[in-house]
Structure 1
Amino acid sequence: MTLDDPLIGTLLDGRYRVDQRIATGGMSTVYRGTDTRLDRVVALKVMHPSLVDDPDFTARFIREAKAVARLTHANVVNVFDQGADGRTVFLAMEYVPGCTLRDLLRERGALSARAALDILEPVLAALGAAHRAGLVHRDVKPENVLITEDGLVKVADFGLVRVLSGGDGAVTNTTSATTVLGTVSYLAPEQVQPGMPTDQRVDVYAAGILLYEMLTGTKPHVGDNPMQVIYRHLHEDVPPPSLVAPDIGPGLDAIVAAATARDPQGRPYDAVELLATLQRARRSLTPQQLDAEPPTSSRTTPQHPTGEVTAPVARQVEHTSVLEFPTLSLTRPRPYDEPLPDRAARPRRSRRPLIWTAVVAVLLALVGGASYVLSGAVYATVPSVLGQTQAQAVQTLDRAGLQGTFGQQFSESVPAGQVMASDPGVGQRVRKSDPVKVTLSKGPQRIAVPELTGKPLEEARKALTDAGLAPGATTEAYSDSVPQGAVISATPGAGRQVAVNTPVAMVVSKGMTPVPNVVGLTKDAAAKALTDAGFQAQTSGLDFFGTGKVVSQNPPAGQPTRQGSVVTLKLPAF
């Protein structure tokens, strides 16, 4: 397939060499390439030629580059450059060696709860950073979750990103009366209802589908064609994953149910709130629940096709696509020519029961109205305070008749001083007498690397673990000043402020330098070998013609000796 690709071997914009095709999607193809100016490997995302003349698709490419340029996050695939070479429109992006979450699910089927959470948490951190920057991804799916060879998780493909605008933070849906743009298995109900506004909660919905799929190995909504899948998104709740994987516990069932609520108001406000909820649920799970082996039945392939569009490659991938569909209605209208059902004549009844029924209904209405008024005095709906300062959150809660208690936690995605979570969450009903627990971000947690030089290796490793860091790679080198087995240096160095669990590499002393073996060499060759190794050469014996070879040396070969020491060479006396 790659041999027939005309882009292979070409140079885009005089800078990016196209080396190998690695993925094909609904709107673009991704190649492994080389930035010839900086001599680094990049991923080149090239728009399909058939879409180049469409200004909407071209605008999406440019929008993706600008949107991701606003994000600085370890779990977001960086976009380096955007350009065009003739009719080839492309993005130059960070190359992430590894696999996609789709590859992992295809290979392993369902994942343990621990593995699923280890993947979803960085995905939510990336989406949370996008949401707090005013961006909505809108195409979250396993194909867009990349896992590097060392286990780092990154979110890619912001091709359908939208910028939040307006006072309510909503974006206008691209769904028209007849089209849907996206990947049907992960579309939120409001994305497939014409004219419905969408916001960051469409990403929350897709993240809930991701969690269900990782825990069970299957998608919650399948069908014989895309329209059947869309219908199920509109009319059916996502089932609890514990029906397939009973060992995961009710906490994850509740998170999947909340994230995939058909009403957007019932979902967590954004990925940051969902992440906080997920982390609280994780702390409540036992090690047995986290590491329970998924049932083998969850590793089987679903029998129902999902209406997904496939590229002409060996493995099946669900692409982002434009789907044509008729306007959907929640109820089936009766055809205008359908006759009304026959009704048998009924005898006249006394109106007295009707009067009493009406009286009772009025009384119930009065009681219900009073209860509603009273409930308004007792209960309130928790407003959104996410992203606000403590002072702003106090005012927002006060307007709703609520009070807050404030705590702090470290966060890699929420700036210091801003609200990162509330309990109860946004939109939930709470007694006005009960305080709302509000968590403020302390910003990223940073730890100073301890001084390790001169410490024995095991002691240095313990110091790193006690500080909340991780021992990294260990190499060895000779040292005249550091005892054997002790640390010569560390990277990052002592005092550097780094994130929690950052690996610290160490160079460990092998002790003093061994004297090289120069017996059998000529005087000049032996002297050069000793000098190169950091020693001084001194000869004894008479070698009038300079042709004799060293017969012995002191210190002997291999003996650890301080560099700069004198090594005496004995030459034959003739």
Structure 2
Amino acid sequence: MDTTLQDPLVGRTLDGRYRVDARIAVGGMATVYRAVDTRLDRVLALKVMHPALAADGSFVDRFIREAKSVAALAHPNVVGVYDQGTDGTYVYLAMEYVAGCTLRDVLRERGALQPRAALDILEPVLAALGAAHRAGLVHRDMKPENVLIGDDGRVKVADFGLVRAVNTHTTSSTGSVLGTVSYLAPEQIEQGIATPRVDVYACGVLLYEMLTGAKPHAGESPAQVLYQHLHEEVGLPSELVPDLAPELDGLVLAAAAREPERRPEDAVELLSKTRAARSAMSNAQLDAIPPQAIAVADDGHDTSGDRTSVLPSQAVAQAQHPELNRTSRMMLPPPPTVGGDDPAA
């Protein structure tokens, strides 16, 4: 039975403007719906805070902060925010609707990815985070569920709901650590510190998971996973994927180092290292199929039931959709001239 039929918001129009058509996803803080802006006749995503949380001023402030932060970024690899408002007990964000799937869907249905596909996803994620880091913001909750892959092949980072300014402490009102345990950096767990390096760590874990089909740390409880983040290094993906290019081991080793000072300073630096690693790899290394990969049809059969068909097998992708391997590249500012003003100062 379609549970969206039981949702009281489906079929309603919020704020006299946004007609709610269907529920997309439910999270701990909000529910996301597909809606139509009746003024502009535009499909969008409506993120509505759970009414029980809307009575808490700190949660509402976080919601509004997300809207302002993302609106200020205006990056092609960040899900855009169009509007923010309230309707009675409902607090909402009107956001860009991305038709496609999440990276979690891809990993669930495809298992481990070929290195080329993993890098094709990682690079635009790092471009988006790099723009945030240069703007003085940290995402803090990077995970496969927050990486959207559109039907057109574009990759976008979503859910800046936990975004904070650089160098702030980030615990909730109850003292618990915010974020998803499998992707939390050690300093987030121990000290609640938010610097760009916590996003770098999460991207190292993401890359490991894309290459191997498994998380680097596992346990029967969140506490066990947190303990491993604090006391164990993330392993090399080649331990699970024989003959994996050493450049990929190096990326994971650097990005997911336990000590923050051993990681790249921010996503901009990690993006540079990622592109260098790609350029050093052969086509055979980039297109190697990991043993954990789940086979998909590449013979022209109907794949309409596969939500991850936006990532076809490499041979078909190159022949039919070469644009899928073109990632949006962030333009980096030139280095400061000697004796000149440092824009970051």
TM-score range, shorter chain: 0.7 to 0.9
Aligned residue runs from structure 1 range 378-393, under 5 A: none
Where does residue 69 of structure 1 map in the other structure? 71
1:192 pairs, out of 174, 177, 189, with 189
d(CA) in 1 for partners of 2:126 and 2:149? Answer: 14
**Could you tell me which residue of structure 2 aligns to residue 86 of structure 1?**
88
Name 1:123's counterpart in structure 2.
125
Question: What residue in structure 2 maps to residue 280 of structure 1?
Answer: 276
Distance in 2 between the 1:221 and 1:102 partners?
17
CA displacement at 1:299 relative to structure 2: 5.5
- Shift in CA distance, 180/251, structure 1 to aligned 2, threshold 3 Å: same
Equivalent residue for 1:38? 40
Out of 288, 291, 304, the residue aligned to residue 287 of structure 2 is 291
Q: Name the structure 1 match of 2:302.
A: none
| Corresponding position of 2:248 | 252
Q: Measure, in 1, the Cα distance between the counterparts of 2:173 and 2:237.
A: 33
| Structure 2 residues without counterparts, runs of 5 or longer | 296-327, 337-345
Amino acid at match of 2:246: P
Partner Cα distance (2:149, 2:335) in 1 = 30
Residues 179, 282 of structure 1: alpha-carbon distance in 2 compared, 3 angstrom cutoff: same
User: Map of 1:88-167 to 2, 5 A cutoff?
Assistant: 88-164=90-166
Over residues 505-525 of structure 1, what are the superposed CA-to-partner deviations in whole Å (9 max), with x where a residue is unaligned? xxxxxxxxxxxxxxxxxxxxx
CA distance in 1, matches of 2:36, 2:119: 34
Query: Matched residues in 1 for 2:82 and 2:175: separation?
Result: 36
Q: TM-score, normalised by structure 2?
A: 0.85
The aligned runs of 1:19-58 (5 Å cut-off) are: 19-58=21-60
Q: CA deviation at 1:270?
A: 0.2
How many Å separate the matches in 2 of 1:415 and 1:255? 20
Which of 258, 261, 266 matches 2:262? 266
Per-residue CA deviation, residues 33-92 of structure 1 (Å, 9 max, x unaligned), is: 000000000100011112111111111110000000111211110000000100001000
Distance 1:412 1:107, change over 3 A: closer
The match for 2:171 is 174
Percent of aligned positions with the same letter in both sequences? 66
Report the count of equivalent residues.
302
* Contact map agreement 2:30 2:49 (CA 8 A) in 1: yes
Counterpart-to-counterpart distance in 1, 2:219 and 2:332: 42
Runs of 4+ in 1 over 6 A off after TM superposition: none
Greater share of residues in helix: 2
Asked whether the 8 Å contact 1:129–1:414 carries over to 2, the reply is no
The residue identity in structure 2 corresponding to 1:92 is: A
Q: Contact 2:76–2:156 (CA<8 Å) still a contact in 1?
A: yes
Q: Is the 8 A contact 1:248 1:290 kept in 2?
A: no
Which structure 1 segments of 5+ residues have no match? 165-169, 301-410, 420-574
Cα distance between partner residues in 2 of 1:271 and 1:418: 17
* Distance in structure 2 (CA, Å) of the matches to 1:210 and 1:71: 23
Deviation at 1:217, TM superposition (A): 0.3
Q: Distance in 2 between matches of 1:90 and 1:130?
A: 22
Do structure 1's residue 209 and structure 2's residue 209 form an aligned pair? Answer: no
Tell me how far 1:263 sits from its aligned partner.
0.8
Task: Measure, in 2, the Cα distance between the counterparts of 1:413 and 1:108.
Answer: 28
Matches within 5 A, 1:213-232: 213-232=209-228
CA contact (8 A) 2:124 2:329 kept: no
The residue aligned with 1:238 is 234
1:417 aligns with 2:334: yes
More strand by share: 1
Which structure has the larger Rg over C-alpha atoms? 1
Native 8 Å contact 1:84 1:90 kept in 2: yes
**Alignment partners' CA distance in 1, 2:173 and 2:4:** 37
Task: Indicate the residue corresponding to 2:318 in structure 1.
Answer: none
Deviation at 1:415, TM superposition (A): 4.7
Residue identity opposite 2:47 in structure 1: K
Report the Cα offset of residue 181 of structure 1: 1.3
> Alignment partner of 1:246: what SS?
coil
The one-letter amino acid of 1:242's match is S
Distance, in Å, in 2 between the alignment partners of 1:198 and 1:71 is 18
